[in-house]
Amino acid sequence: MNLRGDPGLNGQAMSHHASNSVVHLELHTGDLRGAVDFYARLFGWRGERIEAGQGTYMALGMGDRVGGGVVECPSDRPLWLPYVEVPDVGATTDRARGLGGEVLLGPREGPEGWRSVVSAPDGGEVAFWQPKNGSRRR
């Protein structure tokens, strides 16, 4: 399977688009195998196991525009987490906090870039992604 790019944070393939674009969708679920099977049968999205150190992760081939993946984790209810590419993950995280968001995961550096996760005042979650050195992802 070709995800058109180098593995991103935790082995995820990240797409590269203009800033503030959704570049990756990640499903958090307690049933990784069932979720991957469902989307493979529904859309033809093929899963590729990625060594993620702390858990099981499957990259998903979701087409040419957005990267994707499924992470197995304890979850009362599965959720899709969009990753938005931003020019400065720290500044964007601070801005979200200033607008009433709750920081769920502060800025963290990984092999390919930085990420953070915030919850909006309405409870929706979004991740911010800043690639290193203009890294291009697909």
Distance of alpha carbon 97 from alpha carbon 118, whole angstroms? 8
| Domain containing residue 34 | 9-134
Token pair of 38, please?
Answer: 């469902």
Write out the chain's pLDDT in tens, 138 residues: 223 333 444 444 454 445 689 999 999 999 999 999 999 999 999 888 887 666 678 888 887 778 899 998 888 889 999 999 999 999 999 999 999 999 999 999 988 899 999 999 998 999 999 999 755 443
Query: How many structural domains compose the chain?
Result: 1
Residue 3 maps to a domain? no
Residue 43 in 3-state DSSP? helix
Beta-strand relationship, 113-119 and 125-131: antiparallel
Structure confidence at residue 1 (pLDDT): 27
Determine, yes or no, domain membership for 50.
yes
pLDDT at residue 53, as a whole number = 66
CATH assignment at residue 14: 3.10.180.10
What's the rounded Cα separation, in Å, for the pair 39 and 67? 14
Does 130 reside within a domain? yes
The confidence score (pLDDT) of residue 133 equals: 76
